[in-house]
Amino acid sequence: MRKLALLLLGALAALAAGAQDRWRGPDGGFLPFATDEEVLAFLRDAEVIERRGLAQGINRPLKVRLRLGAVEAHAVYRTVNVRKPREESGGKVYLDFHDSCLHECAAYEMSRLLGLDHVPPCVVRDVGRLQGTLQLWIEDAMTEEKRRREGKEAPVPVLWARQQQTLHLFDALIYNFDRNQGNMLIDPDWKLWFIDHTRAFHKSAQVERLDRVIWCERDLWRRLRSLDPGEVLRRLDGLLGPDRIAPIMKRRDLLVRHLERRIAEAGEGAVLYVAGTPDAGTPDAGLP
């Protein structure tokens, strides 16, 4: 147990120390951005010097190369904007379906409101004739599908399990029913990145797979409970319609009640944890 605790603390300390080294460029080196705001400004202003289609993704996104001054970086350009009366996925039917590139920016804004840094920075920008979004590319990353196929295990299982829990809560809040092993990216530091949210933000006020949300980081728990409807509306204005923004707070309420029940039944220490500490509340292995 002591060895695990030291390993976990070392991994978390390394992540914290490298907070300004989250983003890599095409050459593998770290990009000179200290904040998200600097990345967003780059995405808005950089020149597109190269573009090519991606084999992955049904919506035909483009991988583009950007340059601003001496800095170059890759990004994903999406233009999808599809509405359907109904869409079937995973054996379920979703009414008033909307697959939109703007939802990717909405997911990024929601992640910032929650104090998360698992969704790559994203901006609205037109590269061609259609309205689109540009999102920073995560270099040297493998998908969860590749990790499982190759049998790779996280060096610190409890840290990996915590990231998965954050993913489950985030997906529940934004009603992302399209999460799969291909849109979970793992960078060289074993940080889990959440991408491809174009089908999220359904109008339903329900939460799918609430049972998957078992733990929650304490600061995330605080931010979830104090989420301000007015601020959510301000951040998402122009990215989502009011009919897709309002259900977010209803799902938030369901998540809060669910975690409150978990805390009442199992105890606060078994549900909430402090980032950077190997709490007893999180087991020494990943989730089943």
pLDDT confidence band for 275 (50 / 70 / 90)? confident
Q: Kindly report whether the global pTM for this prediction surpasses the value 0.85.
A: yes
Q: pLDDT value at position 288? A: 33
Tell me whether residue 73 is in a domain: yes
- On the question of pLDDT at 109 being above 50, the answer is yes
Tell me whether residue 280 is in a domain: no
Rounded to whole angstroms, the Cα distance separating 117 from 22 reads 9
Cα angle: 44, vertex 170, 214; to 5 degrees: 155
Tell me whether residue 205 is in a domain: yes
Rounded to whole angstroms, the Cα distance separating 59 from 148 reads 25
To which residue do tokens 């170059």 refer?
Answer: 72
Give me the mean pLDDT over the 2-14 stretch. 42
Tell me whether residue 36 is in a domain: yes
- On the question of pLDDT at 283 being above 50, the answer is no
pLDDT confidence band for 167 (50 / 70 / 90)? very high
Tell me whether residue 77 is in a domain: yes
**Full residue range of the structural domain in which residue 116 is found:** 2-273
Q: pLDDT value at position 263? A: 97
Q: pLDDT value at position 250? A: 97
Tell me whether residue 38 is in a domain: yes
Give me the mean pLDDT over the 234-258 stretch. 97
Angle subtended by helix axes 218-225 and 242-266, to nearest 10: 130
Give me the mean pLDDT over the 203-212 stretch. 92
Tell me whether residue 232 is in a domain: yes
Number of domains in the chain: 1
Tell me whether residue 228 is in a domain: yes
21-35, 38-52, 189-203: range with lowest mean pLDDT: 21-35
pLDDT confidence band for 285 (50 / 70 / 90)? very low
